[in-house]
Structure formats: C-alpha cells, structure tokens
Structure 1
C-alpha cells in the first residue's frame, strides 16, 4: 500500500515541478517572489508558566522558538518546543505527567514560477509518555504557496519520506522504521489591529500507522514586541501503545516576544 501511494505521488507531482526545476537550474539569476522582503530573518520566543500550591501542587512550563528565514532562493522555517508538567497533592509527592521536546525544520527551494518550491523537511521528537524512546522523520517533495496578500496566505507541501522510530522496551508491538507520505498545510490571517490567526495541519501516513497534528493559534499584541498567544493543539495516531490514548489535546496561553 505505501509503495503504491509513493508511486502515485511521484506520477502526480513530477510533471508539476520537473519543468520548473529545469528552468530554475538554467536561470540562476531569476527574479525572486516580489512580495517577499529579502533578506529577512525573524525570531519569536514563547513562554508559558503555571504554578499551583495548596491542596493541589502543580507546575507547568512550555517554551518555544519559531524562526522564519527568507533569502533570494530559499524560504526556511525552524521550530523548537519544550513542554514539562508535574503535579501532586498535599499528601503525595509531585510526579512528572508530561515531558516532551519537539523540533522541526523545513527548507523550501524557490523555482522560477512564483510560489512554487521544492522542500526538504526533518523533525525530531522525544516524548516520555508516547511509548517511544524517540522518533524522527525526513521528507522531500513539492511545496507551493497558493496565495499571499496583505491579509492572508496559504501554503502546502506533500512528498515521500522515511520515519525512524525506537519503541520502549515494553512496547514491542509498536511500529518501527518505514516509508511515509507526508503532507502539510498552513493558513495565516492578519487583522489590521495586528492580531494573527494561524491554522496548521500535518500528517505522516505509512503502512501501519498514521500520525497527524493540528495547531490553531490566535495572537494579539500587548505592546511593542510583546504579544499574548492562545493555542490549541491536537495530536492523533492510529496505532499507539496500550496505555497511550490515540488522541491528545493541549490548550495553552503564553507570552510571545519578537526578538527581531
């Protein structure tokens, strides 16, 4: 099944970008997208902290870095996130209930036709309560920004790849390494007040498991480079360990600071 999916993807996408790729290689001095500010590099830092004491004792920390890098020939996105939670009661010690490190990077190489790109993607996740010691994915393929105007933009990417999984010792039933097809889509909207909406969705499908992630966020400026951000994240897998839920949700409120 997975080989058929990859074959169909190749048959569908190759005619779309092969011509653009050839033209790009023979036109090294092509004009980049006119609506991009080049060069450009932005970096945002996000921090959310919750501390409880009394009958219930709890601590939660979420920190993230998000960077966009725009050059004449490349459009790159970098992301890293750290989540840590522990809780207890007046009669019990605190126990760790969540501990995750997650990072991704995507590199889009611009073709001659406006908005059309080839992408390379990689991610790494270390989640203490997922049933895996760690997991990583690599993918490459076709990426396109369908539109970008003063208010909104939409882009997507799709391509084959490979996932690297290492299950915990007591979870031998979980899937291991394998070929995947990865697809993602992102929509952004900005109001005149400066408030921003972002909807992101990605899925990695392979023969024995499909992993999907949805992130909806709304941010509004507080003052200067400081903003308040509300996020809602859904993670779903079709095949998980016996003691791990297939669907997990996360709602957070954090302060975001734009360094530059």
Structure 2
C-alpha cells in the first residue's frame, strides 16, 4: 500500500458521504461548527526557547453522516535549534444507522520528525455505539479492524499490517462555559501497539473565545532505535469557535 492508496482510502468515504447527503434538505442538516486554537511560549535569558502549538477542527452533523476533520501543528526551538516538530491530520466519517449505532470510518496521518518515523498512517472501519447521548454528556465507544502503514526515517523501511482499533470518547459540559473531554484509543498490531490519550478542559471567556488546557500521551510498544516509547504534551491554547 502506498501513499496514493492511503489518500484514496481517506477521500472515498467523503465522496460517498456527499452523495448520500445530496438528497437531504438544508433544514435537515445542522450547520458546520469549528474551532481554531493557538498557543505560543517564548523565553529568553540563559536559554532562548520558543514554541508554537496550532490546531484547527471542523465538525458537521448530518441526517445520515457525521463528519469531522482535525489538523495539528507543533514546533519548538531551543537556542535556535529545532527540538520538536510534528504535524498531524485526522478525518472521521460516521454513518448513522440508528440513534445510538453507527459505522466509524477513520483516516489518520502523522509526521513527527523526532519520532524515528518519516510518517505514520492508519485507516480503519469499525462499529460505533453511543453509550451516553445526552445534552451535557456523551460517551462513544468504537471497535473495528484497521490497517497501519508507517515509514521509518532510517533506510526508509516500511512497517505495515492489520490492527485492531479500540476507542472511547467522553465529553462533559460541567457547567455553562466549562467543557471536559477525554479521548483514549488503542491500535493493536503484530509490529507494535499504540496507545493514545488526550485530556482537555476548556473554559469560555466570552461568546467565541475560550482557553483550553490539553494533556496528551502517546505510547508505542516497539519503536525505532534511539527513540522513546512514550511522548507527552501539555498545551495551553486560546480557542476561537465558529
């Protein structure tokens, strides 16, 4: 499997979704919602450091299909030397069959230039169940097969194979203007197992602006030589919602 095939796997569900939704009137579909996040830190003195954390996401809920796209970029420099550089994208399409049941289609791509990989990618299709579906709280559970395609920095070696993907997504509006989110996933394959966790707490400042604290953990059971198994990120960002 090569990059064009991965791109096709990512785009094909989107085209199907568009065709399915084309006969649905505008009154049946919610408007698009999205957010843009930006965080930056700059220190000077004994050590000059700077970092930039940017995220963009859009979500659309339809009569048959729900769709979401997330883009992320993280860079960090210390004494004019790049110490962290990561770019990631994720597209998820959910085909609703009933109020609490859906087909989850996911495509992910990550380019972390200090991970030992040139890039890592995943496509999966699985069953989704909305265990909690209330106005101020939601819990989605997903399980299904997927396919991982990774390319190592050293020698361009390809690691690929089938995986089992499990995921849980929890959202809770604690009170008006304060939201908590927890996303946990596991991709279990013959080559390695990847665990991901993202915890976020967002506090609204006014109608469109909010601050957000985010803590992310990624653990890979088997990694390239001289790479660490666990990566963590802590971010403080300003969020603009639209």
What TM-score comes out, normalization by structure 2 length? 0.85
- Checking the alignment, whether the CA contact within 8 Å between 2:38 and 2:54 is kept in structure 1 is yes
- Checking the alignment, whether the CA contact within 8 Å between 2:116 and 2:154 is kept in structure 1 is no
- Checking the alignment, whether the CA contact within 8 Å between 1:46 and 1:64 is kept in structure 2 is yes
Matched, 1:162 2:153: no
2:226 equivalent in structure 1:
243
Q: Secondary structure of 2:175's match? A: coil
- From the CA coordinates, give the structure whose radius of gyration is larger: 1
Q: What pairs up with 1:70-219 in 2 under 5 angstroms?
A: 70-88=61-79, 94-111=80-97, 113-169=98-154, 176-219=159-202
Which of structure 1's runs of 4+ aligned residues deviate more than 4 A? none
How far apart, CA to CA, are the structure 1 residues paired with 2:90 and 2:40? 23
| Deviation, structure 1 residue 171 | 8.0
How far apart, CA to CA, are the structure 2 residues paired with 1:250 and 1:53? 21
**RMSD over aligned Cα, in angstroms?**
1.8
Which structure shows the higher strand fraction? Answer: 2
What TM-score comes out, normalization by structure 1 length? 0.80
Matched, 1:227 2:218: no
Structure 2 stretches of 5 or more lacking a match?
Answer: 1-22
User: How many residues in Structure 1 have an aligned counterpart in Structure 2?
Assistant: 217
| Deviation, structure 1 residue 39 | 1.9
